[in-house]
């Protein structure tokens, strides 16, 4: 008790009852675990590598690649659901590729136009410097 009375509360001296206790965590619950949504779980699972043997050779493929390969094989055997699935997937992939190529062409065009403008500015600047350097020569 005498020790508590002698203890002076002030700058960098908090009251004893608010100080951390020995052997007790300052955050007993800990940081909450990250909540994973279904999309993240699905992507992680479908991108997992699986060892397979194909044509007598061992290799690894993602689960998604295996599913797509199986669907294509079923479609080739005439399974109507697989044919529909593969056709829709093909159309979507083709549409995405064409859209991406269109964006790429547009980006290249914009970059080319910017570079062309910059080249004209540099040429103009060089012309002005040449005029200054080749201006009237002074005799000493």
Q: Is the pLDDT of residue 101 over 80?
A: no
Q: So what's the pLDDT on residue 1?
A: 47
Angle, CA 85 vertex, CA 81 and CA 86 arms, to 5°? 120
Do residues 53 and 42 touch, judged by C-beta distance below 8 A? no
pTM of the model: 0.47
Average pLDDT of the segment spanning 62-77:
92
Mean pLDDT, the chain, whole residue set: 83
The per-residue pLDDT for range 111-131, each reduced to its tens digit, is 677 777 888 888 888 888 878
> Residue 30 — pLDDT band, cuts 50, 70, 90?
confident
- Identify the pLDDT of residue 109: 67
Q: Which residue has the higher pLDDT, 137 or 52?
A: 52
* Token pair in block for residue 54: 């194909």
Between 43 and 134, the more confident residue is 43
Mean pLDDT of 70-74: 92
Go through 64-85 and write b for each residue having 16 or more CB atoms within 10 A of its CB, e for each that does not: eeeeeeebbebbeeeeeebbeb
pLDDT band at 105 (very low <50, low <70, confident <90, very high): low
Q: 79: number of CA atoms within 13 Å, CB side? A: 12
């Amino acid at each position: 008790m005498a020790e508590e009375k002698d203890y002076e509360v002030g700058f960098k001296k908090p009251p004893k009852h608010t100080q951390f206790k020995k052997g007790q965590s300052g955050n007993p619950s800990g940081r909450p675990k990250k909540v994973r949504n279904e999309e993240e779980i699905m992507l992680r699972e479908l991108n997992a590598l699986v060892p397979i043997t194909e044509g007598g050779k061992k290799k690894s493929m993602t689960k998604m690649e295996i599913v797509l390969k199986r669907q294509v094989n079923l479609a080739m055997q005439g399974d109507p659901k697989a044919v529909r699935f593969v056709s829709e997937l093909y159309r979507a992939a083709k549409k995405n590729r064409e859209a991406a190529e269109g964006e790429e062409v547009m980006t290249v065009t914009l970059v080319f136009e910017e570079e062309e403008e910059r080249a004209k500015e540099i040429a103009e600047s060089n012309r002005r410097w040449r005029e200054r350097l080749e201006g009237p020569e002074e005799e000493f």
